[in-house]
């Protein structure tokens, strides 16, 4: 049985850890994009922390939205998905979608990287986007998009900001 380690360093980020685990479990049980066996770690981070990781491990000092680190099945570790909550807030507002949808997209994107999908070429990006939409639709259809909020930031389309 898969286990999940959830870490959040973002003050004021409100979410149900059990709902997030339920979402991850649903992705696992769906089986369409299997990830390696073992514990999956999800880290909800501030932009600065993720930017430091991006520079240190991927030699790119620019901010990013999500980084996925492969695990080690021999250590019973599936991998880690590191997500920038700050980026999700900003990009969700720019795209006119809620924080919950944006963070779930980043989670799904990281999941797909652990499942072996890439996004380095145009062909890979097309495949990745189709897989993201498939998984988001799957979760949305089962009401498994976890609710996220930052302080008094409403979840949902943001207009006029």
Per-residue pLDDT tens digits for 128-138: 999 999 999 99
The DSSP call for residue 13 is: E
Distance of alpha carbon 23 from the chain centroid? 11
pTM: predicted TM-score of the whole model, two decimal places: 0.91
Q: Check residue 1 and give its pLDDT.
A: 74
CATH of domain 4-150: 3.40.390.30
Mean pLDDT, all residues of the chain: 92
Give how far Cα 159 sits from Cα of 39, 58, 96, 107, 122, Å.
39, 35, 7, 24, 31
Q: Check residue 152 and give its pLDDT.
A: 59
Per-residue pLDDT tens digits for 74-119: 999 999 999 999 999 999 999 999 999 999 999 999 999 999 999 9
Q: What is the DSSP string of 85-146?
A: HHHHHHHHHHHT--HHHHHHHHHHHHHHHHTT---SSHHHHHHHHHHHHHHHHHHHHTT---
Distance, CA of 102 to CA of 109 (rounded, Å): 11
């Amino acid at each position: 049985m898969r286990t999940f380690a959830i870490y959040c360093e973002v003050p004021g980020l409100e979410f149900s850890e059990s709902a997030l685990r339920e979402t991850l479990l649903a992705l696992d049980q769906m089986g369409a994009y299997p990830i390696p066996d073992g514990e999956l770690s999800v880290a909800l981070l501030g932009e600065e922390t993720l930017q430091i990781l991006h520079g240190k491990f991927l030699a790119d000092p620019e901010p990013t939205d999500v980084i996925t680190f492969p695990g080690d099945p021999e250590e019973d570790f599936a991998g880690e998905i590191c997500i920038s909550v700050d980026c999700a807030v900003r990009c969700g507002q720019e795209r006119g979608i809620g924080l919950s949808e944006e963070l779930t997209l980043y989670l799904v994107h990281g999941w797909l990287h652990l499942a072996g999908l890439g996004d380095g070429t145009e062909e890979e990006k097309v495949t990745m986007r189709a897989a993201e939409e498939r998984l988001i639709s799957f979760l949305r259809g089962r009401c498994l998009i976890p609710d996220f909020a930052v302080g008094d930031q409403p979840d949902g389309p943001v207009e006029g900001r």
